[in-house]
Structure 1
Amino acid sequence: MAANIRVAVVDDHPLLREGVTRSLREMNGFEIVAEGASGADARRIVAEVQPDILIMDISMPEGGLVTLPVVLEIRPSQKIVILTVSEDSDDVSAALNSGANGYVLKGVGTRGLAEVLQAVSRGETYVSPTLSARLLSDLKSRRSDDRETTVLADLTEREREVLDLVAAGLSNKRVALRLDLHEKTVKHHMTRILSKLNVSNRTEAALWVHRRSVEG
């Protein structure tokens, strides 16, 4: 028969903490070995009790995200599941990057939490599905923003001047007059600009500029 998963629960809301511990005690396969309400409690519990899994909130005295890496310094093998109301992608990323094995939203059912703890005890990492989808979307968006920032930096000062005037609706001829260039030179700049922006024509280039200005 498999040994029970030894769980410690650290949350500064007594009602929620008691609800989690009571629910897990009523489930087969779990043993509540400690409870706490702060980062200091989490550090003490990990050092003295060494639970299989530490369930910890983000919003508590000393902060869960601050406490997380400190706990792992004390016991590098400690498995940690964040149980919180925060759906902020930055919090999810910070927790996972700091070494959390799971990130679960409060409101999860007892059976759902039990399944997460079982998965984490097997060495898996878990993030609530709605959060993982949002995290992936944010990551893609940031990568796109980073790529566009790199592209913008790759444009020469003259190419930026030409692009801004084209985005303002000026023809190659008018751009040439404004910048005191030959029209043929403007066309050459536009060819390089379209290539760097990875767009097909002047209209798409103008839209690229307008979108950047709106998002920025």
Structure 2
Amino acid sequence: MIRVLIADDQSLVRAGFRVLIDSEDDMVVVAEAGDGATAAELTGGTRPDVVLMDIQMPGTDGLEGIRRITADPDLAAVRILILTTFDDDAYAVAGISAGASGFLLKTTAPAQLLHGIRVVAGGEELLAPGLTRRLIARLTTPTPPAVDDTTFADLTAREREVVTLVAEGLSNDEITKRLFISLATAKTHVSRALGKLGARDRAQLVTLAYRHGLVRPD
């Protein structure tokens, strides 16, 4: 059962999300919050698997809520999925950098939102296609940097290859097909790379790969 916390300042929106999520056999809403501070507090008390986080909320916004959640080592297993609009690129980038596992647009279809929750709960990153290119553009400089070998020095050749594929947007299943390895092996390489690079999740692996030149925008 995927436990979900909904953070949105509009009660009607939260009610809609609750009905949608609770209608699924493998999901349940464990708490609701109207601002980032409440979301962080309730996350500590309920330990959801996924926090569905709005960004623009009065008082303490969602970005600060993300920072508070990801700063607590006891909440390292919690995954955060941002809901944003096309005008919120900067917030989405800041949220990913702060430790969110991905973002979706508020215009996302219900089935896609449910899929997104499952993807993030399963440990994968989720970047809305319409914002991915703009996200990458913000993470990189006009002249892409040379590979920072210091950052990736502790990775084995295979781990480095896997991180590159993660940054290119491949899922674990796609990585297994590309490298002809088992799913368990792919997950192990990702897990070890996360530990060595001090990254919270796959979304931060993507950030590191672009910022330090391991992958360059096409």
TM range (shorter): 0.5 to 0.7
Report if aligned partners of 1:120, 1:126 keep a CA contact under 8 Å in 2. Answer: yes
Match of 1:91 in 2: 91
TM superposition shift of 1:138? 4.6
- Specify which of 47, 51, 54 is matched with residue 54 of structure 1: 51
Deviation digits for residues 94-129 of structure 1, max 9, x if unmatched?
111100011111121111011111111111010110
Match of 2:142 in 1: 143
Structure 1 or 2, whichever has the larger Rg, is: 1
* Alpha-carbon spacing, 1:36–1:88, altered in 2? closer, same or farther (3 Å): closer
Q: Distance in 2 between matches of 1:87 and 1:28?
A: 34
Match of 1:22 in 2: 19
Report if aligned partners of 1:69, 1:98 keep a CA contact under 8 Å in 2. Answer: yes
TM superposition shift of 1:146? 8.9
The normalised TM-score by structure 1 is: 0.61
Q: Alpha carbon RMSD of aligned pairs, Å?
A: 2.0
* Structure 1: stretches of 5+ with no match in the other structure: 148-216
What is the aligned length?
143
Q: Distance in 2 between matches of 1:52 and 1:88?
A: 24
Q: Which has the higher helix share?
A: 1
Match of 2:38 in 1: 41
Match of 1:81 in 2: 81
Q: Distance in 1 between matches of 2:144 and 2:76?
A: 35
Deviation digits for residues 170-204 of structure 1, max 9, x if unmatched?
xxxxxxxxxxxxxxxxxxxxxxxxxxxxxxxxxxx
* Alpha-carbon spacing, 1:51–1:138, altered in 2? closer, same or farther (3 Å): closer
The normalised TM-score by structure 2 is: 0.60
TM superposition shift of 1:69? 1.2
1:13 aligned onto 2:32: no
Report if aligned partners of 1:87, 1:105 keep a CA contact under 8 Å in 2. Answer: no
Match of 1:63 in 2: 61
